[in-house]
Amino acid sequence: MQACEQVSDRAASDNAEAEVARVMQICNACRYCEGFCAVFPAMTRRIEFAKADTHYLANLCHNCGSCLHACQYAPPHEFVLNVPQAMARLRGKTYTDYAWPACMGAAYRHAGGSLLLALLASLVLFFLVPSGNLFERVDPPGNFFALFPHGALVWLFGTVFALAALALGVGVGRFWRDVSPGAPNAAAATEATHAILTLKYLDGGHGEGCNNEDDAFSLWRRNFHHLTFYGFLLCFAATLAATFYHYVLGIHAPYALTSLPVLLGTVGGLGLVTGPAGQLWCNLRRHPLHGDTAQRPLDRGFMLLLLLTSASGLALLAWRDTAAMGVLLVVHLGAVMAFFLTLPYGKFAHGIYRSAALLKWAIEKCQASRLKLGGD
């Protein structure tokens, strides 16, 4: 009980870097978990953990939980060692500290509220600006551009996406410069890409998966992550295919159910429904000592936004020839716009920061260790 209160006290602490440095000092003397993930071999290359090192290690951690369930110093031990929780809290600080512009770090700290605000503002915007009656069947049926002109949508979404990508790129660039020991090379890029595409470190280090709600291993979290990730990529590919149809082939929407944009979007949309729904299910059952409970609004809000985006997209496809199309289109465009607006200041950022950390690790492990203490 006393140990749990100490954990809670640490939750109130702002000093997330010091806590990661503390747990890494203990782990560096123990090294039992050295084969679990990239965090521990990267740790063995250090004796001291400066701020940049702690942020790097925190973003290498995939929060699989293995090292908590294996640890002899985990609560209720007096060391109160909880690596996944310390790493998760510091990741939250990474996104805030490196946010660009700096004032937008507050949006991350209040992620639930900022996501809701972005969604409501986007829905109101699209309810107010259609160029036709939202509640009537358009002519020809399924023609979205009868309500929102194609050029205006391209300009609006293109501008917001470019600004979001710039903000995220500047933030991750600063993180990279703080922690990078060298330039990327082809071998490191290949290894990092493999780790990203296979979610290698969500296998618990033994291939049987994460500890989610208890000591049992489970691959569900990894599988649902895959469905979300590849569903997102397919939806992005559907947008690129539709752009190619429109500008290169001169074929304009609505597209046939058997066309490439619709097929890619449908399969991607199904992945983006099942993946986030499954991740939400895992999150609701998650062991309370895993991760940072203060970030639950961020995690769950992001999953719900992805669900709304994909479900409204599939509903739009199913009922695009009816009078319901206008309202469904507003909900879908509003959800996509909220996703774009919160892209650099929400959960989406974790994938980019973690990818940067994985690339740094792939570079670092090829270099000779200055300490000669680890197994590399």
Binding ligand SF4 by CB under 6 A: which of 16, 20, 71, 359?
Answer: 71
In 3D space, the residue among 122, 137, 182 whose CA is nearest the CA of residue 342 turns out to be 122
Of 66 and 342, which has the nearer Cβ to ligand SF4? 66
Token digits of residue 263: 């097929």
For residue 372, count other CB atoms closer than 10 A to its CB.
Answer: 9
CA distances from 287 to 36, 49, 154, 221 (A): 19, 28, 43, 13
Binding ligand SF4 by CB under 6 A: which of 67, 227, 328, 358?
Answer: 67
Residue 176 CB, nearest approach to ligand SF4 (Å)? 20
Binding ligand SF4 by CB under 6 A: which of 16, 21, 42, 64?
Answer: 64
Residues 177-206 that bind ligand SF4 (CB under 6 A): 201
In 3D space, the residue among 261, 272, 281 whose CA is nearest the CA of residue 311 turns out to be 272
| Bridge partner residues of 217 (DSSP) | 211
Binding ligand SF4 by CB under 6 A: which of 20, 36, 118, 359?
Answer: 36
Q: Which residues are within 8 A (CB) of 190 and not within 5 positions of it... i.e. 6 or more apart?
A: none
Residues 76-115 that bind ligand SF4 (CB under 6 A): 81, 83-84, 87
Cα gap 275→249, rounded to integer Å: 33
| Burial tier of 333 (Cβ tally within 10 Å: 0-12, 13-18, 19+) | buried
Q: Is 287 in the site for ligand SF4 (CB under 6 A)?
A: no
Q: Is 58 in the site for ligand SF4 (CB under 6 A)?
A: no
Q: Is 211 in the site for ligand SF4 (CB under 6 A)?
A: no
Binding ligand SF4 by CB under 6 A: which of 46, 62, 89, 91?
Answer: 62
Residue 156 CB, nearest approach to ligand SF4 (Å)? 39
Residues that bind ligand SF4 (CB under 6 A): 26-27, 30-33, 36-37, 39, 61-67, 70-73, 81, 83-84, 87, 201
